[in-house]
Structure 1
């Protein structure tokens, strides 16, 4: 479908950090096709920093009504409409609420995958390929590019991109210099996953790897959100050496800067792994309840560790049995891979 050149475009981004990163090939295609349009991207609270310094986006809007009920959505829709109606809306999530907010905001033409109860809210419904199945087993980059293709945008590769601001880079460097030799290699351990505990490799295992790395002269930094501080503290308490603990210390913009300058990221299948991939930083990623099939692009610098347990992938947020898919990945194996990646003798 070809559109008359819209002057204003509103994109509703996905709700997971990693999925927002994987939407950047679609944003690149959108910007290339509609060079002069004002492109605004809506994100849920907490994700505003992901697309900061992204050259394809003119404005990032926080969805204040996210999970706040119908009244909040009505008020936000009215407020957005009063600012001025967008010519085109691209609704990436398949939720009813994301399309409804665009409709309430008066977006003139809404494009999205148009199945289910929300189909009357979508002006241009894009068919969902049967091969994707109910779980949408397709790379997130391809999922978004399918919508961009529907409005005439040519794909310009599937590589993901992020940027950082000089001030954020400087603050990270200053903190690293304050706590030690800034020139020393940094390995970031990110033990959390907002999806749920089923995705999390054991804290004691992260601790064992952290000690093994620090024993060989590699600085270890623990990374997490403020809500994950108890988890990073559990890792630190289980370690014999003392790591840097940055849980809740950095904004999301600064988290990008920290990961960008790290030598290696060791993490669960969560948002941090996609930030590392966007900056071509090597990563070791644990897959347990989830499958790589939905995120199987941009893996050049990624080492996937997983087991062959028959119960996975289950996509459960809490493991109902013994978490064997994660406990079966041994710290010794992770340490060996980490040292090899860093070029440090084991």
Structure 2
């Protein structure tokens, strides 16, 4: 295998991108995938990722041609490993004889072995240490960069034009129709709807539910309509929030497709949420937001548009946190007060959509 990737794109007919991550991670990679497609308009581009990426793929078929599901790895927490499926997965990857595989799944500490096992003609990506770098192909992990900019930096290192960091989310007419039907059925007046998303995959990344209830109570008291979003599995959380708030809310948990949710957000007034996937959907459709970042790496994940999106967080030396339940009393969450969130929320609402 050559150590240079200067002319790889001239012969690249089948390219794979390894990124076995969830919604927000995928949306942050879209600027890089857009640049990749612009360079390779006729190539077949395969995403090797999670089953949860299927709804994303449906909306970004202009950049990605297919999804091959990755069975998992013990080093990656996003899904349980299907060990019995791994031998067939690697046989399939080798049989596809990829011209290039891009490792876009972190520093390469674990993911580079996975990519090498696919046996592509060439591969490129990140390496965890400077001494492992290969010019034009293996870039030392740029820990100082925002998640969006890391993958653009990789493509530039490989010789591609990759400057545009704009997030996007294509909303189809079918998405709009589904959203319209749902809004009518739930009585949503989107021009005065504030979405609250209290969930996150890890409990350590969730701001306390009682504080979300206080925010909902204050916003409803000011005349705004509050809609609570989440997966079907978070419906109990939504009910508890409504009971605690003591005001009417609209429960949207599990009731929308990803596209319909994006369409609703596109026409709403504000999102208040944890630092999780919906934050990146809001950024992609230009809905102003107040994001409470509990435990996450703010510099890596905060929306790039700091005028439209406010990120509130309290300092904690243990960021980023990988615990499900915080073992030290959740100071990063408790350090963000209800008044802080309301001040930022009303600031955005007073300015209108911007």
In the alignment, which residue of structure 2 is the partner of 1:322? 329
Does the Cα contact within 8 Å between 2:273 and 2:279 map onto a contact in 1? yes
Does the Cα contact within 8 Å between 2:316 and 2:332 map onto a contact in 1? no
| 1:133-172 → structure 2 map (5 Å cutoff) | 136-172=143-179
Change (3 A) 1:344 1:280: closer
Q: Does 1:248 align with 2:260?
A: no
Between stretches 55-64 and 318-327, larger displacement belongs to: 55-64
Q: Does 1:109 align with 2:116?
A: no
Q: Does 1:87 align with 2:94?
A: no
Distance in 1 (CA, whole Å) between partners of 2:207 and 2:227 is 17
Scaled by the length of structure 2, the TM-score of the pair is: 0.84
Q: Does 1:218 align with 2:224?
A: yes
| 1:61-80 → structure 2 map (5 Å cutoff) | 61-66=67-72, 67-80=80-93
Post-superposition offset of 1:276: 0.8
In the alignment, which residue of structure 2 is the partner of 1:9? 15
| 1:183-198 → structure 2 map (5 Å cutoff) | 183-194=190-201, 196-198=202-204
Distance in 2 (CA, whole Å) between partners of 1:164 and 1:197 is 30
Post-superposition offset of 1:321: 2.0
Scaled by the length of structure 1, the TM-score of the pair is: 0.86
Give the SS at the match of 1:241. coil
Post-superposition offset of 1:38: 1.9
Give the SS at the match of 1:52. helix
- Aligned alpha-carbon RMSD (Å): 2.8
Q: How many residues align?
A: 333
Does the Cα contact within 8 Å between 2:302 and 2:311 map onto a contact in 1? no
| 1:32-71 → structure 2 map (5 Å cutoff) | 32-54=38-60, 56-66=62-72, 67-71=80-84
Structure 1: any 5+ residue segments left out of the alignment?
Answer: none
Does the Cα contact within 8 Å between 1:5 and 1:34 map onto a contact in 2? no
Q: Does 1:288 align with 2:294?
A: yes
Does the Cα contact within 8 Å between 1:40 and 1:58 map onto a contact in 2? yes
Change (3 A) 1:290 1:35: same
Give the SS at the match of 2:347. helix
Give the SS at the match of 1:201. coil
Distance in 1 (CA, whole Å) between partners of 2:168 and 2:147 is 14
Does the Cα contact within 8 Å between 2:17 and 2:102 map onto a contact in 1? yes
Distance in 1 (CA, whole Å) between partners of 2:286 and 2:207 is 23
Does the Cα contact within 8 Å between 1:112 and 1:124 map onto a contact in 2? no
Post-superposition offset of 1:184: 4.2
Give the SS at the match of 1:127. strand
Change (3 A) 1:71 1:123: farther
In the alignment, which residue of structure 1 is the partner of 2:346? 339
Change (3 A) 1:101 1:311: closer
Give the SS at the match of 2:310. strand
Distance in 2 (CA, whole Å) between partners of 1:24 and 1:103 is 24
Distance in 1 (CA, whole Å) between partners of 2:257 and 2:322 is 29
Give the SS at the match of 2:59. coil
